[in-house]
Amino acid sequence: MVKANVKISRDEFFRVRGEVLATWPTGAAVASLDEGIRRQQALPAHKQFARAMSEARRKGQTLLQPRAGVALVEDHVRLLNYLATEGEADLLPTTIDAYTRQNRYDEAANGIKRSEEAGTSLLNGFPAVNHGLDACRRVVESVDKPVQVRHGTPDARLLAEITLSAGFSSYEGGGISYNIPYTKRVPLAKSIRDWQYVDRLVGLYGEAGVTINREPFGPLTGTLVPPCISHAVGIIEGLLALEQGVRSLTLGYGQTGNMMQDVAAMISLRELADDYFRRDGHEDFELTTVFHQWMGGFPEDESKAFAVISLGAAVAVLSRADKVIVKTPHEAMGIPTKEANARGLRATRQMVNMLTGQKMGDDSAALRREVDMIKAEVRCLLEKTRELGGGDWAVGAAAAFESGVLDVPFAPSIYNRGRLLPVRDDEGFVRIYQPGNAPFTPEILAYHAARLAERSRTEGRSLSFQMVTDDIYAISKGKLIGRPM
Stretch that binds a second copy, among 73-81, 109-117, 426-434, 437-445 (CB under 8 A): 426-434
Residue 138 annotated as catalytic: no
- The residue (of 457 and 477) whose beta carbon lies closer to other proteins is 477
- The residue (of 302 and 370) whose beta carbon lies closer to ligand B12 is 302
Query: Which member of 248, 348, 385, 416 binds a second copy (CB under 8 A)?
Result: 348
> What is the SS3 string spanning the chain?
CCCCCCCCCHHHHHHHHHHHHCCCHHHHHHCCHHHHHHHHHHCCHHHCHHHHHHHHHHHCCCEEECCCCCCCHHHHHHHHHHHHHCCCCCCEEEECCHHHHCCCHHHHHHHHHHHHHHCCCCCCCCCHHHHHHHHHHHHHHHCCCCEEEECCCCCCHHHHHHHHHHCCCEEECCCCCCCCCCCCCCCHHHHHHHHHHHHHHHHHHHHCCCCCEEECCCCCCCCCCCHHHHHHHHHHHHHHHHHCCCCEEEEEEECCCCHHHHHHHHHHHHHHHHHHHHHCCCCCCEEEEEEECCCCCCCCCHHHHHHHHHHHHHHHHHCCCCEEECCCCCCCCCCCCHHHHHHHHHHHHHHHHHHCCCCCCCCCHHHHHHHHHHHHHHHHHHHHHHHHCCCCHHHHHHHHHHHCCCCCCCCCCCCCCCCCEEEECCCCCEEEEECCCCCCCHHHHHHHHHHHHHHHHHHCCCCCHHHHHHHHHHHHHCCCCCCCC
Query: Which member of 93, 222, 396, 439 binds ligand B12 (CB under 6 A)?
Result: 222
Residues 278-297 binding ligand B12 (CB under 6 A) are 295-297
Q: How far is the CB of 422 from other proteins (least distance, A)?
A: 12
Query: Which member of 126, 178, 253, 298 binds ligand B12 (CB under 6 A)?
Result: 298
Q: Where along the sequence are the contacts to other proteins (CB under 8 A)?
A: 97-99, 101-102, 104, 107, 110-111, 114, 120-124, 152, 181-185, 221, 223, 296-297, 300, 330, 332-337, 340, 410-412, 465, 469, 472, 476
Residue 172 annotated as catalytic: yes
Query: Which member of 314, 332, 378, 382 binds a second copy (CB under 8 A)?
Result: 314
Query: Which member of 86, 274, 364, 412 binds ligand B12 (CB under 6 A)?
Result: 412
Task: Assess 172 for contact with ligand B12 (CB under 6 A).
Answer: no
Using CB distances below 5 to 8 A depending on partner kind, what does residue 95 bind out of a second copy, ligand B12, other proteins, none?
Answer: ligand B12
Task: Assess 59 for contact with a second copy (CB under 8 A).
Answer: no
Catalytic choice (172, 215, 237, 370): 172
Enumerate the active-site residues: 101, 172
